[in-house]
Amino acid sequence: MRGVKIVGTGMCMPKYILTNEELSSFIDTSDEWIAQRTGIRQRRIVTDENTIDLSVKAAKEATEGIDPLEIDLIIVGTVSPHQVIPSVACSVQAQLGATNAMAFDISAACSGFIYGSKIAVEAIRCGSAKKALVIGAEVLSKVVDWSDRGTCILFGDGAGAVLYEQTDVNKILAFDVGSNGMLGQTLSLENQAQNNPLIKNEYSPSFIKMDGRAVYRFAVNVVPISIKKALEKAQVNIDEIKLFVLHQANERIISSVAKNLNVDLNLFFKNLDKYGNTSGASIPIALHEAKSNLKNGDKIVLTGFGGGLTWGSIVVQW
């Protein structure tokens, strides 16, 4: 079986920093209230950028020094594309000049990067690709109800990218992925209403809706199980893991997972204080920022969880 490794990472964040203090100027909240409940101090939101812009910049950093014609596959995980057609991935392909790549988007919310990575890695393993670019990108600020304190304090915009490549010595050790659509409505974002010659609907914008307590219960239960399953498949002991890079949803979730696994919280990377919850973008952004602390041969775990409900873990040797 062909091996796979990570050969590049990149990220792009909007310039505008929306602090908790600024949020409290137009909604009933405070920096202390938000930070105590989530660990978030600020988030980035777009002004003149969009999902494509962020994706392209992250992709260019991840593929620096690579001939775009060598990229065989581009996958973008997003629930907030700039437009439905063409896909974000096809727009990225055009701007990179990666004319040999198959390109498409997937919708798996906060697990989008993990799902996209599984597709990309399996494509390389079966021989249909040698280099695959996976991007997580979101502009959630356009689908957040800025009058809803329960959601608007959480989310931010951004993009992260990872380039996978075929290699003789495999570095992607195992995956665990899953979904539970029966709980899907605990975190939802409606699409455009039916509108055809037989049905007429007035336009109304759709916003993210979330049952925060239900999502919290789901995450703290499913994430430790997923990590353990991935480690078992990889035949790696948990004490061999140098770093856990979880979806940056909530500091309390990360702390609960660490406690459940009986792992030192210091081994869990966190940057949600700066960026908030960027959904499918959070893991590649976090990985890009964490990599300066990684050494060749270190084993790490990447784990996503969220809308669908979906989840997934990857065991990687750096």
157 CB neighbour count, 10 Å cutoff: 31
The active-site residue, picked from 20, 50, 152, 247, is: 247
> Which ranges of 143-211 would DSSP assign to H, the alpha helix?
149-152
317 - beta bridge partners? 299
Active site residue 247: yes
State whether the Cα torsion 48-83-208-276 is positive or negative. negative
Structure-block tokens of residue 270: 């966190």
**Torsions phi, psi for 131 (to 5 deg):** -130, 130
Residues ≥6 apart with Cβ < 8 Å to 12: 53, 54, 55, 56, 57, 58, 61, 158, 159, 160
Ramachandran region of residue 39, left (φ > 0), alpha (ψ -120 to 50) or beta? left
12, 20, 50, 110: which one is catalytic? 110
Whether 277 sits among the annotated catalytic residues: the reply is yes
CA atoms within 13 A on the CB side of 284: 41
Closest Cα to residue 78, out of 227, 215, 282? 282
Tokens linked to 227: 């990590």
Tokens of 30: 């405070």
- Among 12, 250, 277, 288, the one annotated catalytic: 277
Active-site residues, by number, are 110, 247, 277
